[in-house]
Structure 1
Amino acid sequence: MSTDPAPRPVAPRMLVKAPAGRALLFEYREGEGLPPHTHAGQAVVVAVLRGRLRLSVDGQEQEVPAGEVLHVETAGLFSSRALEDGTRVLVTLLNLA
């Protein structure tokens, strides 16, 4: 992944916010993404609904196409970058504690 920070997408739409976690819907244009950040104490479920996303978790990158779902639990760093216009991603954060 490029070391240049990806432009941030428009703020995600909050679908659910509860004591146990939250669900966020992101709409990305090509090149938009999120800078390195952590989700310590949370399980993260990333579902790419449309387009393609490059996801980096703990320094390991992978391309995630539409229809793929990933479940990750780590205190390490996450970052993302859309590879296509119109990439839509559902992110569910579940509190582990």
Structure 2
Amino acid sequence: MPRDPRPVAPEVLVKAPGGRALLFQYQTGEGLPPHTHAEQAVVVAVLSGRLQLTVAGQASELTAGEVRHVQSSGPFSSLALEDHTRVLVTLIELDGS
């Protein structure tokens, strides 16, 4: 039976009116399907392991210690490339004014 690509729900580290910080722990092949955060800026920090991050159809590999800022109305997704990949995702609400 194939593994469900979605990881266990993330640990919510901070939840505030302006955003939230989430800690994901992935095994190889787990990740998040294409989705959007149109009204948010997203900061993805890989704490350990390797992650494939695809933004608007462009895939890149991030390794431990790398950080990527994503601000796109297009879809993005993630996929762990090795076990024990830990990713800190910070979502920041954008002010429309």
Q: When the two structures are superposed, what TM-score results if normalisation uses the length of structure 1?
A: 0.93
Give the RMSD, CA atoms, in angstroms.
0.8
| Alignment partners' CA distance in 2, 1:71 and 1:81 | 17
Give the match for residue 29 of structure 2: 31
| Alignment partners' CA distance in 2, 1:38 and 1:72 | 10
Unaligned runs of 5+ in 2: none
Structure 1 runs (4+) deviating above 4 angstroms are none
1:40 aligns to 2:38 (yes or no): yes
Identity of aligned residues (%): 72
Opposite residue 38 of structure 2, the aligned amino acid is A
Partner secondary structure for residue 26 of structure 1: strand
Opposite residue 55 of structure 1, the aligned amino acid is L
Q: What's the CA shift for 1:41?
A: 1.0
Q: What's the CA shift for 1:94?
A: 0.1
Opposite residue 14 of structure 2, the aligned amino acid is V
Q: What's the CA shift for 1:72?
A: 1.3
Which residues of 2 match residues 1-97 of structure 1 at below 5 A? 7-97=5-95
Higher Rg: 2
| Alignment partners' CA distance in 1, 2:13 and 2:69 | 19
Partner secondary structure for residue 46 of structure 2: strand
Give the match for residue 3 of structure 1: none
How many residues end up aligned between the 2 structures? 92
| Alignment partners' CA distance in 2, 1:13 and 1:62 | 24
| Alignment partners' CA distance in 1, 2:66 and 2:5 | 23
